[in-house]
Amino acid sequence: MIKSKPILSINNLCVNYLTKSSYKNKQQYAVKDVSFSMFQNRSLAIVGNSGCGKTSIAMSVLKLIKPESGQVFFNGKNIHKMHRSELFNFRRQVQPVFQNPDEALDPLMTIEKSIRMALSSNILKSQKRDMIISLLENVGLGQEHLKKYPYQLSGGEKQRVCIARALSTDPKLLILDEPISSLDISNQAKIINLLKDIKEKQNLTFLLITHNPNILKFLIDDVAIMKDGEVLEMSSYNEMILNSQNEFTKRFFRNEIG
């Protein structure tokens, strides 16, 4: 592994949720003291069974939830201490692709408008349309989709639009939160191939959140195994497949845990 300055570092991250009951409010930990670093061009997958805290980490990295404690550094800067302009730049460089494409697009916006909203305001209006067309072509969608609304697209097409939208800000890090889990088998394969292509062409780094071990070998270099809010082990994918001694990891890769 080539060690350079990490693109993303997470130090002692703790995320908890308040569960309200009729008797008392209870703090429930989703992520307990998690630390890891990611390097440019080395994509990482956070894997584990449902409810182990994977998505909470992704949301913390995107600064969409406030962690209880711990820090998240992007290119060496603490994302919770960024100025407005720094935060804006950070947001443009870290883009998410969410699990359910049906909910990830505004139902009242055409595909063109959804992507247009993500484009930088510095780009000339006349250039924006060409950029949108080229972004859609990048993900295998034609111009005929520009004026369509999300409900007129299939699940796979919607996910492609979400990927095109994420790419429109020219990001460095793409956070893929279960990007194929709500798609059918044929669309799953197409989206994996698309992500693989994009990663190579655009020199992107992925932070992949998944409970499906089968897609790891196509997209990522390193794996972190999570259980009950903690990272059990982290290493390169090949090393983990060959040498992991952890029973939970072995069972996970045998597809016994989902």
Partner 1 sequence: MIKLITKIWKNKNGKFGLIIISVILFFSIFAPILTSFNPTMQNLNIVLQKPSFSHVLGTDYYGRDLFTRILYGSRVSLSISIIASAISVLFGTLIGVISGLSGKYTDNILMRIVDIMLGFPKFFILILVISMGSFSIFNTIIVLSLFSWMDTARLTRTETLLLNNTTFIKAAKAMGMNKLQIIFHHIIPNISGIVISSYSLLTGSMIILESGISFLGLGVQPPNASWGSILNEARLDPLGGWWVMLFAGIAIVTTVIGFNLLGDGLKEILQPEHYQDD
156 binds partner 1 (CB under 8 A): no
Question: Smaller CB distance to partner 1: residue 16 or 236?
Answer: 16
Which residues 64-103 are close enough to bind partner 1 by CB under 8 A?
64, 87-88, 91-92, 94-96, 98, 100, 103
Does 162 interact with partner 1 (rule: CB under 8 A)? yes
Please count the helices (runs of H) and the strands (runs of E) in the chain. Answer: 10, 10
Please tell me whether residue 110 binds partner 1 under the rule CB under 8 A.
yes
Q: Smallest gap, in angstroms, from Cβ of residue 238 to partner 1? A: 32
Residues 200 and 131: their CA atoms lie apart, in Å, by 20
CA distances to 125, 224, 255, 258 from 251, rounded to whole Å, are: 53, 15, 6, 10
| Residue 37 binds partner 1, judged by CB under 8 A | no
Residue 185 interacting with partner 1 (CB under 8 A): no
At a CB cut-off of 8 Å and minimum separation 6, what does 18 contact? Answer: 25, 26, 27, 28
225 belongs to the binding site for partner 1 (CB under 8 A): no
CB of 214 to partner 1, least distance (A): 24
In a 13 Å sphere around the CA of 44, the CA atoms on its Cβ side amount to: 24
Select 33 or 68, whichever has its Cβ closest to partner 1.
68
C-alpha span between 240 and 101 (Å, rounded): 31
The DSSP symbol for 110 reads: -
Q: Is 165 in the site for partner 1 (CB under 8 A)?
A: yes
Which of 50, 51, 117, 203 contacts partner 1 by CB under 8 A?
Answer: 117
Count of residues in the chain: 258
Q: Is 147 one of the binding residues for partner 1 (CB under 8 A)?
A: yes
The 94-97 sheet, strands edge to edge: 94-97, 173-177, 205-210, 44-48, 222-227, 230-236
Minimum separation from the CB atom of position 174 to partner 1 (A)? 11
Residue 108 found at the interface with partner 1 (CB under 8 A): yes
Report the alpha-carbon distance of residue 125 to residue 123 in Å, rounded: 6
* Three-class SS state of 227: strand
Instruction: Please tell me whether residue 188 binds partner 1 under the rule CB under 8 A.
Output: no
**Residue 61 or residue 224: which is nearer to partner 1 going by CB?**
61
β pairing state of 222-227 and 173-177: unpaired
**Footprint of partner 1 on this chain (CB under 8 A)?**
62, 64, 87-88, 91-92, 94-96, 98, 100, 103-110, 117-118, 147, 149, 151, 162, 165, 169
